[in-house]
Amino acid sequence: MKSPFPFQSILYATAILVVVLPVRAGVDFGRDVLPILSARCASCHGGVKKTSGFTFTNSKTLFAPAKSGAIPIVPGKPENSEVIARIGHTDPDERMPPEGDALEPEEIETLKEWIASGAEWQEHWAFAPRNPGI
């Protein structure tokens, strides 16, 4: 009779990997997108600074036409989103951010994935309405 050891070993190893290895469930705005926008875009498009007429601090200006008429973020369509066109531009006069290093390919891919998945915007917790006391 053959030993079931090889089959059991494979089964146990697979079960351990499924439990131990983290599974990334898509792009998360707070975890993946916001840090990129904060580090790479907020100096020109954050808070009161609305270069080109939009800011990354709220969704109202992100999903509407900017001063140029282009829409910064088109949910579900990274190929139509001006932000993606600008961060991937090869012309240094057109590329964003205008100063410093270009975004890393992984950062660009994260933003593309976020936009392709609908560009869900999560307001910062500090701007969320407070729950009234009981």
* pLDDT tens-digit profile, the chain (134 residues): 555 556 565 545 555 544 444 445 699 999 999 999 999 988 888 877 778 888 887 788 889 898 889 999 999 999 999 999 999 999 989 999 988 899 999 999 999 999 999 999 876 655 566 776 66
Q: Is residue 66 part of a domain?
A: yes
Evaluate whether residue 58 is within a structural domain: yes
Residue 62 falls inside a structural domain:
yes
Q: What is the pLDDT of residue 81?
A: 97
Range of the domain at 78: 29-120
Q: Indicate whether 22 belongs to any domain.
A: no
So what's the pLDDT on residue 19? 47
CATH of the domain at 80: 1.10.760
CA atoms within 13 A on the CB side of 118: 5
Kindly tell me the burial class for residue 83, based on how many C-beta atoms sit within 10 Å of its own C-beta (0-12, 13-18, 19 or more): buried
Q: What does the alpha-carbon distance between residue 113 and residue 119 come to, in Å, rounded to a whole number? A: 8
Structural domain total, the chain: 1
Let me know if residue 43 belongs to a domain: yes
